[in-house]
Amino acid sequence: MTVNIDVNSIARRRGIRLGVYLGIVLGLLSALNGCTGWFENIKTGSVADLTRSDWVLSDMADVDILTDIRPTLKFANAGEASGFSGCNRYNGVMVLGDADIAVDNLSLTSLSCRMSFMEFEQAYIERLQKVSFWTLRRNSLRLNDASGVTQLRFRRMGTPVGSNI
């Protein structure tokens, strides 16, 4: 039995494979280069940092939080605030600056909950409409009224409870 080995055809096949692999790698690198927005450095404490996260309530001035299902807050870039208020979902108009904030024209869904939850929800909405400025440190967002009193404190959703600094 004779084995006829064509060295040129083996080299060509390996060259084609190598070319395919190089093409795939170069294509992936090119795609990643086009996605630099995914790896954008966002300044901590900036408006962009604030709007890229969802927030969950960790503390409310003078009110005990009654449930583990906490109110949430999300800022949209288009001047909108929305979230869950303890019983219902809400949305409204938001004006957001480098340190100032105003939330107005809130509308809520009309679910009925236990009276204590509805009273808590009303207190949350009232405080949300009182806020005038915000501060953000690490994973903690504070919404303060015009006199500087923190009305609502949130932590970045997905962070452990103890990380609220």
List, for residues 50-95, the tens digit of each pLDDT value. 888 899 999 998 888 766 778 999 998 778 999 999 899 999 999 9
Q: Retrieve residue 148's tokens.
A: 């500087």
CATH number at residue 104: 2.40.128.270
Domain extent at residue 157: 47-163
Same domain, 137 and 83: yes
- Asked if 93 and 99 count as a contact pair (C-beta separation under 8 A), the reply is no
Q: Number of structural domains, the chain?
A: 2
Q: Are residues 100 and 34 in the same domain?
A: no
CB 125 within 8 A of CB 108: yes
Tell me, what's the pLDDT at 151? Answer: 95
- Whether residue 23 is found in the same domain as residue 60: no
pLDDT at residue 56, rounded to an integer = 94
Q: Which of 32-36, 111-115, 135-139, 144-148 has the lowest mean pLDDT?
A: 32-36
On whether both 127 and 73 belong to a single domain, the answer is: yes
| Same domain? 93 vs 147 | yes
Is 70 exceeded by the pLDDT of residue 36? no
Confidence (pLDDT) at 15: 58
53 with 134, same domain?
A: yes
Residue 2 inside a domain? The answer is no
Indicate whether 34 and 53 sit together in one domain: no
10 versus 138: the higher-pLDDT residue is: 138
Q: Do 54 and 72 contact (CB within 8 A), yes or no?
A: yes
The Cα 73–Cα 63 span in angstroms is: 18
Round the average pLDDT of the chain to a whole number and report it. 80
Whether 127 and 106 have beta carbons less than 8 Å apart is answered as no
CA distance 76 to 50: 10
In the prediction, which pLDDT does 96 show?
Answer: 86
Cα(133)–Cα(119) distance, integer angstroms: 25
Q: Are residues 84 and 137 in the same domain?
A: yes
* Residues 100, 27 share a domain: no
Q: For residues 88 and 53, what is the distance between their CA atoms, to the nearest angstrom? A: 20
In the prediction, which pLDDT does 39 show? 43
1, part of any domain: no
